[in-house]
Amino acid sequence: MKEAIEQIFKELEELKATTQKEAEEARVRFLGKKGEITALMEQFRTIAPELKREYGQKLNELKKTALSRIEELKSSAQADNAGSTPKEDLTMPGDAFPLGSRHPVSIVRQQIVDIFRKFGYDVAEGPEIEDDYHVFEALNFPPNHPAREMQDTFFVSTGHLNPLLLRTHTSSVQVRTMESQPLPIRVVCPGRVFRNEAISARAHCIFHQVEGLYIDEDVTFADLKQAILLFAREMFGPDTEIRMRPSYFPFTEPSAEVDVSCNICHGKGCNICKGTGWLEIMGCGMVDPNVLKASGIDPEKYSGFAFGMGVERIAMLKWQVNDLRHYFENDMRFLSEFATATEV
């Protein structure tokens, strides 16, 4: 028995394990149910009583040594495994999460608003479900004007004097602003508008506009022209020219349509500007005295200008998108084109 004990002490000293499994095998070999030390313990019961003291101490020491040695092997195998053979390659680049980006219509709307904010305009908003008064009547639309009819307007409720409808333009926000804000007024009104149109490359039943309104004493058509010129140059580049063509809107007198010089061919004529060198971008004019009066503003003392533009139209011109429907189909191939287009 003495030799057996010495032998195991020696073996324990030389014991090696590189994995957890090997350390566990060593534990079983020495301390398991049928382990070598366990067998010696059993043998101990049968030895002569006078030897019990000596061997008892030795066996206890052996068991303790074996336990701590195996514990040592287990923890060093663990540390080695963590250090030398990691399961994952920690130097591998991580997976990129797909990031969303702003919609081109939002980008352009924000650009338009930012340009006018620089000129000192505030932002005003109004409801998308409006009444006939704010969309038509207060804007000097005669009672039987075709724009009020079913083919253009989505009505929410009819049958009374002031039906509810989806606004067909953001000019309604002009009226709300004149009703509620002190003079002078300088606002831009971005928003979504609705028209009962057949959907095509050039028309949609939902689109976005930005309306502008400036009312003060002595505002003239020259102020309007200058504001639009500055806007056009900020939006389309410093060489941009504008021209104004006489037009008609019930809420402005005189009224004009604004064209900018084509930013593709620079006036030479191309298929975007259909060979004319000019692109139409907005309607505008001097606020009709009837419109001022309807909102309680004295047209003898105050005058003002207004303008309104389609956001999708400006975006189409900026990025040469030839089909309006792209803006509403949420096709990722189209939308991701604008992921980096946040600068003017």
Question: Closest separation between CB of residue 169 and ligand DAH, Å?
Answer: 3
Contacts 24+ apart (CB under 8 A), 95-102: 99/339, 101/335, 101/336, 101/338, 101/339, 101/340, 102/338, 102/342
Positions 128 through 187 that interact with ligand DAH (CB under 6 A): 169, 171
Residue 129, beta-bridge partner list: 166
Given the rule CB under 6 A, which of 122-130, 199-207, 283-291, 313-321 is the region that contacts ligand DAH?
283-291
Question: Closest separation between CB of residue 252 and ligand DAH, Å?
Answer: 4
Instruction: State the number of CA atoms in the 13 A half-sphere of 341 facing the CB.
Output: 19
Which residues are CB-neighbours of 100 under 8 A, at least 6 positions away? none
**Which residue's CB is nearer to ligand DAH, number 69 or number 176?**
176
Using DSSP's 3-state secondary structure scheme, residue 4 falls into: helix
Question: Closest separation between CB of residue 268 and ligand DAH, Å?
Answer: 29
Question: Closest separation between CB of residue 210 and ligand DAH, Å?
Answer: 10
Question: Closest separation between CB of residue 339 and ligand DAH, Å?
Answer: 31
**Which residue's CB is nearer to ligand DAH, number 62 or number 283?**
283
Question: Closest separation between CB of residue 343 and ligand DAH, Å?
Answer: 27
Count other Cβ atoms within 10 Å, centred on residue 128.
Answer: 15
d(CA 190, CA 13): 83
CB-based closest residue to ligand DAH: 308
Give the pair of three-digit tokens for residue 187: 């606002």
d(CA 272, CA 7): 97
Given the rule CB under 6 A, which of 96-104, 118-126, 277-285, 323-331 is the region that contacts ligand DAH?
277-285
- Residues 189/126, Cβ–Cβ less than 8 Å: yes
**Which residue's CB is nearer to ligand DAH, number 77 or number 185?**
185
Q: Which of 283, 288, 313, 314 binds ligand DAH (CB under 6 A)?
A: 283
Question: Closest separation between CB of residue 152 and ligand DAH, Å?
Answer: 10
How far are the Cα atoms of 221, 259, 272, 273, 332 from residue 276, in angstroms, in the given order?
Answer: 25, 11, 9, 6, 34
Q: Which of 70, 308, 314, 321 binds ligand DAH (CB under 6 A)?
A: 308
Give the pair of three-digit tokens for residue 9: 């002490």
Site track 215-254 with ligand DAH (rule: CB under 6 A), x = hit: ----------------------------------x--x--
Size of the site for ligand DAH (CB under 6 A): 11
Positions 15 through 34 that interact with ligand DAH (CB under 6 A): none
Instruction: Decide the pairing of beta strands 185-194 and 122-123.
Output: parallel
Question: Closest separation between CB of residue 164 and ligand DAH, Å?
Answer: 19
Q: Does 295 bind ligand DAH (CB under 6 A)?
A: no
Give the pair of three-digit tokens for residue 287: 């606020």
Site track 36-75 with ligand DAH (rule: CB under 6 A), x = hit: ----------------------------------------
Helices (H), ranges, 119-266: 132-135, 171-180, 221-236
Q: Which of 30, 136, 231, 307 binds ligand DAH (CB under 6 A)?
A: 307
Instruction: Name the nearest CA neighbour of 112 among 313, 338, 335, 324.
Output: 313
Positions 189 through 218 that interact with ligand DAH (CB under 6 A): 211
How would you classify residue 285: left for phi > 0, otherwise alpha for psi between -120 and 50, otherwise beta?
Answer: left
Question: Closest separation between CB of residue 280 and ligand DAH, Å?
Answer: 11
The footprint of ligand DAH (CB under 6 A) covers 169, 171, 211, 249, 252, 283-285, 306-308
